[in-house]
Amino acid sequence: MTPGLPTEIAELCQDRSLGSSALLSRFLALLPELDASQAESALTELQTAFPVMAVWVFLQRRLATGDLSRQAVADLEAEIRTARRKTLDLAVEQLARYDRLLTISRSSLVEAALVEWAAGREGKVLVGEGLPAGEGRALAGVLAQKGLSTKVVPDWELVDQVSSTDAVVLGADWVMPDWFINKTGSSALVRAARGAGKQVIVLAEAFKATTEQPFNERACYQIEQISREIRIMRVFEWIPLTDGIILLAA
């Protein structure tokens, strides 16, 4: 970690329970307390920790002017809220057709969409547990607190549950013209949905869409230490944007 950065930056870099939009929001809350040099170093640290999250590319472009005033940050936050709201409106309209949904990982955008979708209906959400970090369990807990009927499904069993749902809802950390990146296990769900004739809906704010790819395949892996054993685990994967996938990125 770069010397002189707040401990909160190190904590963000180590957080494996949140999606990219939530991490971006937390970083923006810290931004007014950083000078230009610290902001640049912090952004570099976050890109290193989460190289397959397009939000850091977006933020790097927006901070290129060097304007870190509270008004500039407030304007940036307003832009992000607007993009998020547009995607949520599209999502709620699309999801209204379904009563039983399935998702994986913990996207704050998917979480917000599911909460709005559930208002006034008796829907059910199946959530993969999301090992090793367990972010799926965390998402299910939040949804249950908000009154949604949820069920946590072991990751290995999630594909088998696709046929019993109406649609699969996924977030995205990076969107390209022909593919998107999300938590490992997403591509298997897409294939299962296609085989079962179920809809796949991908939610992403517009600022996650880019034609750049400044990372390689290695970035999709991370090293985990489990007890005394060190394992190299694939935590992200590239999923083709094939026919039948509805991408909502407004």
Domain ranges (residues) in the chain: 7-81, 83-248
Contact assessment for residue 204 and residue 83, using Cβ atoms and an 8 Å cutoff: no
Residue with tokens 């694939």: 234
Report the distance separating Cα 189 and Cα 159, nearest Å.
6
Mean of the per-residue pLDDT values of the chain: 90
Report the distance separating Cα 79 and Cα 145, nearest Å.
29
From the CA atom positions of the chain, what is the Rg in Å?
A: 18
**Single-letter residue type at 116:** E
Q: 36-45, 217-226, 238-247: which has the minimum mean pLDDT?
A: 217-226
pLDDT-derived band at 130, boundaries 50, 70, 90: confident
CATH superfamily of this structure's domain 83-248: Translation initiation factor eif-2b; domain 2 (3.40.50.10470)
Which element (helix H / strand E) includes 159? helix 155-161
End-to-end, the C-alpha distance of the chain in Å comes to 35
Q: 33-37, 52-56, 126-130: which has the minimum mean pLDDT?
A: 33-37
pTM of the model as a whole: 0.92
- Biggest alpha carbon distance in the chain? 53
Q: 57-61, 135-139, 147-151, 221-225: which has the minimum mean pLDDT?
A: 221-225
Report the distance separating Cα 232 and Cα 221, nearest Å.
7
92-115 tens-digit pLDDT? 999 999 999 999 999 999 999 999
Report the distance separating Cα 194 and Cα 176, nearest Å.
21
